[in-house]
């Protein structure tokens, strides 16, 4: 059964182990939440390239992306401990309206049909505009197993990832905006980050690292104001509470 929400997880650079959370970590998570509620969900070029293996050489691309997971909340524990302990839950329509969609998982090995053919197309395209369009499609592709492994562990299939992939030109009907490169903690130096501004009715769920972080966040005026302006109550759960669903 599919989840009712797509959740954007963040905080990997803060702390991903609940048992190791410090007051400083909790405050950093609160600042991250306030920034997201005030400015939107970030799209940024990851600090490491996404790499797909195709025939003789890897295909590398670097586009601004925002990632979401469709896994049920009861299965969110492991995912949060890998990508960050703060989750922002939105609807599928929110992602689709920003021209996002589900990731296409591919076998990330040489000579595979999908990646191999895309590699040949990438080599054959001379026109830079058309090549950029192909790279956007590549942004929706992800290896289903651990890169470089000699076996298929299918590690990423269970994430059921969705993405918004943004080439940095079309503003998508005003739903995506430019922001300062320093606003996003993971963007590569010298690259611009973008945001998808949030209306309170866009958010269905906020997952906090723990109860202490939730308490700190609910003391902030910006968080209270955002929650109060939603036409329907926004669920505020902890990672641990998600395991009960």
Which residues of the chain are under the pLDDT cut of 50? 182-183
pLDDT at 154: 83
Phi, psi of 29 (to 5 degrees): -65, -40
Q: Which helix (H) or strand (E) holds 137?
A: helix 128-138
Q: What are phi and psi of 4, to 5 degrees?
A: -80, -15
Beta carbons within 10 angstroms of residue 4's beta carbon:
13
pLDDT at residue 47 in the model:
56
Give the number of other Cβ atoms within 10 Å of residue 69's Cβ. 24
What pLDDT score does 51 carry?
60
Contact 205, 43 (CB under 8 A): no
pTM: 0.86
Q: What is the reported pLDDT for 132?
A: 75
Can you give the pLDDT at residue 185? 54
Please tell me the predicted confidence (pLDDT) of residue 144.
83
Structure tokens at 115: 């990646």
The pLDDT, as a whole number, for residue 222 is 96
Q: What is the structure's pLDDT at 231? A: 95
User: Which pLDDT value is given to residue 188?
Assistant: 52
């Amino acid at each position: 059964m599919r989840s009712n929400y797509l959740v954007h997880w963040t905080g990997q650079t803060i702390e991903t182990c609940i048992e190791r959370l410090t007051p400083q970590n909790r405050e950093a998570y609160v600042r991250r939440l306030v920034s997201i509620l005030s400015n939107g969900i970030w799209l940024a070029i990851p600090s490491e390239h996404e790499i797909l293996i195709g025939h003789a050489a890897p295909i590398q691309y670097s586009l601004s992306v925002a990632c979401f997971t469709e896994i049920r909340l009861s299965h969110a524990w492991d995912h949060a401990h890998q990508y960050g302990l703060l989750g922002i839950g939105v609807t599928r329509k929110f992602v689709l309206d920003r021209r996002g969609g589900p990731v296409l998982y591919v076998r990330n090995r040489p000579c595979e049909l999908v990646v191999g053919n895309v590699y040949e197309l990438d080599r054959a395209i001379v026109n830079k505009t058309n090549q950029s369009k192909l790279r956007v499609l590549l942004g929706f592709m992800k290896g289903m197993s651990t890169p470089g492994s000699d076996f298929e562990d299918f590690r990423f299939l269970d994430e059921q990832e969705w993405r918004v992939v943004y080439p940095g030109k079309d503003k998508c009907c005003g739903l995506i905006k430019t922001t300062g490169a320093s606003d996003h903690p993971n963007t590569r130096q010298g690259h611009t980050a973008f945001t998808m501004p949030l209306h309170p009715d866009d958010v269905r769920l906020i997952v906090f690292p723990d109860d202490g972080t939730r308490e700190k966040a609910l003391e902030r005026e910006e968080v209270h104001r955002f929650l109060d302006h939603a036409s329907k109550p926004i669920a505020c759960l902890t990672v641990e509470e998600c395991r009960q669903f």
